[in-house]
Amino acid sequence: MASQEEGLKKLIAHSKEYGFVFPSSEIYDGLGAVYDYGQNGVELKNNLKRFWWDSMVLLNENVVGIDSAIFMHPTTWKASGHVDAFNDPLIDNKDSKKRYRADVLIEELLAKYDDKIDKEVEKAAKRFGESFDEKMYRETNPRVLDNQAKRDEIYARFVKALHDNDLGELRQIIVDNEIACPISGTRNWTDVRQFNLMFSTEMGSTSEGAMKIYLRPETAQGIFVNYLNVQKTGRMKIPFGIAQIGKAFRNEIVARQFIFRMREFEQMEMQFFVRPGDEMKWYEHWKEVRLKWHKALGLGDEKYRFHDHEKLAHYANAATDIEYEMPFGFKEVEGIHSRTDFDLASHEKFSGKNIKYFDPELKKSYVPYVVETSIGLDRTFLSIMAGAYCEEELENGDSRVVLKFNPALAPIKAAILPLVRKDGLPEKAREIMDDLKFDFKCVYDEKDSIGKRYRRQDAVGTPFCITVDQQTLEDNMVTIRYRDSMKQDRVAIKDLQKIIDDQVNIKNLLKKLA
Ligand code: GAP
């Protein structure tokens, strides 16, 4: 089995080699934590967006979409709390001059204790075989208990420090636990300071008149400031939701793990406006709906879990993450937050405009509460690449890399392959392509042996290869090869559209949510 690091490296190399993800401005050696999506990446990303969008605005009568601008009036970010509170606690190592997130250093230490404990348990499980009682071992083994006690103590201090916003205590935890800089190996640390994550730029043509504006760090605020526009023009009644897909920007300090933590990324967010007091009911509802969506991607139900937040963001009264088991452990892909009336009430205060909703059933006005679902498109993309990537040894001694995407998400649905480049086969293959291209993203490929061409399509996850041979010219039948089973069938050209559509239609995914 590949180590976590090797697994991620392979995925990064494969993503680049097959046109999924490239480092941004690579000819200039790239730009930290910024990536471009290639010809196959963008198709996969678009399919994912479509699945999310349709699951929100088609399957829910009371959810509609918008597309708001990235630039917003700067007061938006004052009202939302981002100017004052969208910070990471940073610490520098004085010798290496490297900057770290203090909370991440401590989380990594906690993960080391978890690892130690798990390894101890694994070793014992091997030693004792069938008769091993893991629960009993965890509760009684002195080494496990010792490590667990140390971990619990650090964890309790950490959670309290985060709650109290106590930067001195965060530093003290790092010092007390002798956490060293991975570069210099020393423990020569500065104080912990807060660092705002928003990028800013200037708008306006004269230096005196220029206004400092921010690149939005979340798409949600574009929804909040438009909620009454949508409610009135769409005659929406509470409860209702507004969905949006768009770019967000954060000046992340710890930017690594490929497209997991980027400085420019894409979010798919939905704000659901509810009556005050109903928010917990809807919070539970959306938790369930969103987990189901992730599971429908087909990467394995056991790959997902909820993780409730230890420290709630400045706007939330309940929050959980949906985590996916990435090549580097369980990581957040989506946040579900009960945001109370924090944002709307704050926008009302800062703008001086009345943005209350008049509830015709209750016959009174109020500021709605909000439950939000906020999923990272790039992280979901990464989860799909990681979950779909398979290396297989074949019976004939060959091996292949295959991306086992759900067919509805696959960037290319069918490859049309004339067996040889003569005898009218290319022309026949083109005819088939010209017919299918109105419904599906197809590719035509006549170069190299048929085996090599199959391998190329496996590597980008194409569910169907359609081979045109001499016999096709006589009977209008082709060979269809299925990506996962590699089974081949002889089928009529006239049936191709239906065979492919049955597998790749996004409806297949949407129906799993019903
Ligand atoms: N509106 C709420 C909000 O933005 P968040 O938990 O900060 O909440 C939501 O972000 C999702 O956006 C995360 O679950 C993650 O998938 C994605 N995300 C956040 N920061 C990211 C980054 N730097 N790179 C890639 N995705 C990111």
pLDDT tens per residue across span 382-391: 999 999 999 9
Interval between CA 432 and ligand 1 midpoint (Å)? 43
pLDDT of residue 458 exceeding 80 = yes
pLDDT band at 1 (very low <50, low <70, confident <90, very high): very low
How many angstroms does the Cα of residue 216 sit away from the middle of ligand 1?
12
Query: To the nearest whole percent, how much of the chain has pLDDT over 90?
Result: 90
Are the C-beta atoms of residues 314 and 326 closer than 8 Å to each other? no
Phi and psi torsions of 241, nearest 5°: -130, 155
Q: Which residue has the tokens 């770019």?
A: 247
What's the chain's average pLDDT?
A: 95
Phi-psi category of residue 178: left, alpha or beta, with phi > 0 → left and psi -120 to 50 → alpha: left
Average pLDDT over residues 42-71: 98
Q: Is the pLDDT of residue 57 over 70?
A: yes
Give residue for tokens 């206004």.
211
Mutation test residue for ligand 1: of 249, 266, 379, 383, the one with most atoms within 8 Å of CB? 379
Using the mean position of ligand 1's atoms as its centre, give its distance from the Cα of residue 5 in Å. 23
**Average pLDDT for 177-194:** 95
Sequence-distant (6+) residues with CB within 8 A of 233 are none
pLDDT at position 256 is 74
The response to whether residue 267 sits with its C-beta less than 6 Å from ligand 1 reads yes
Q: Quick one: tokens of 280?
A: 């917990």
269: nearest Cα among 220, 339, 331: 220
- Look at ligand 1, atom 2, and give the residue with the nearest C-alpha: 374
- What are the Cα distances from residue 510, in Å, to 57, 59, 387, 461, 502? 12, 8, 20, 21, 13
Distance 316 CA to ligand 1 centre (A): 15
Q: Which atom of ligand 1 is nearest to the CA of 322?
A: 14
Question: Residue with the nearest Cα to atom 26 of ligand 1?
Answer: 376
Residue of 356, 355, 373 lying closest to 365 (CA atoms): 356
Give the residues across from 99 on adjacent strands.
Answer: 92
pLDDT at residue number 480: 98
Q: What is the model's pTM? A: 0.90
Question: Is 261 touching ligand 1 by the criterion CB < 6 Å?
Answer: yes
- Identify each DSSP E strand in 43-98 by its residue range: 63-65, 87-92
Residues 89-112: tens digit of each pLDDT: 999 999 999 999 999 999 999 999
pLDDT of residue 2: 56
| 462-508 pLDDT tens trace | 999 999 999 999 999 999 999 999 999 999 999 999 999 999 999 99
> What span, in angstroms and rounded, lies between the C-alpha atoms of 250 and 259?
13
Q: For residue 207, name the pLDDT band (cuts at 50, 70, 90).
A: low
Cα(140) to centroid(ligand 1), Å: 40
* Phi, psi dihedrals of residue 19, rounded to the nearest 5°: 75, 30
So what CATH class is 39-86+197-389?
alpha beta
Q: What is the pLDDT of residues 307-355, one digit of tens each?
A: 998 778 777 899 999 999 999 899 999 999 999 999 999 999 999 999 9
Question: What's the 273 CA to ligand 1 centre distance in angstroms?
Answer: 20
Q: What pLDDT is attached to residue 315?
A: 77
CATH class of 394-513: alpha beta
Question: What residue's CA is closest to ligand 1, atom 4?
Answer: 218
User: Using CA atoms, how far apart are residues 457 and 413, in angstroms rounded to an integer?
Assistant: 10
Distance CA 10, CA 391 (A): 11
Percentage of residues in the chain having pLDDT higher than 70: 99
Judge whether residue 4 has pLDDT over 80.
Answer: no
Give the start-to-end residue ranges of the domains of the chain: 39-86+197-389, 92-194, 394-513
Query: In the Cβ-directed half-sphere of 236, how many Cα atoms lie within 13 Å?
Result: 25
**What is the 8-class DSSP label of residue 370?**
E
The type of residue at 34 is: V
Query: Counting every residue, how long is the chain?
Result: 514
Question: What is the SS3 assignment for 471-504?
Answer: HHHHHCEEEEEECCCCCEEEEEHHHHHHHHHHHH
Which residue matches tokens 């916003």?
165
Q: What is the dihedral sign for C-alpha 247, 249, 255, 261?
A: negative
Give the E-state strand segments of 341-432 in sequence order.
357-359, 364-366, 369-376, 389-393, 399-403, 414-418
**Hey, is 32 helix, strand or coil?**
coil
Is the model's pLDDT at 249 over the cut of 90? Answer: yes
- Which atom of ligand 1 is nearest to 220's Cα? 1
The conformation of residue 316, written as its DSSP 8-state character, comes to -
What separation in Å is there between the alpha carbon of 361 and the centre of ligand 1? 36
Is any atom of ligand 1 closer than 6 Å to the C-beta of 220? yes
Is the pLDDT confidence value at 372 over 90?
yes
Nearest to 483 by CA among 508, 506, 500, 505: 500
Which is nearest to 295 in space by CA: 265, 268, 325? 325
Helices (H) and strands (E) in the chain, counts: 18, 23
Report whether residue 265 contacts ligand 1, using a CB cutoff of 6 Å.
yes
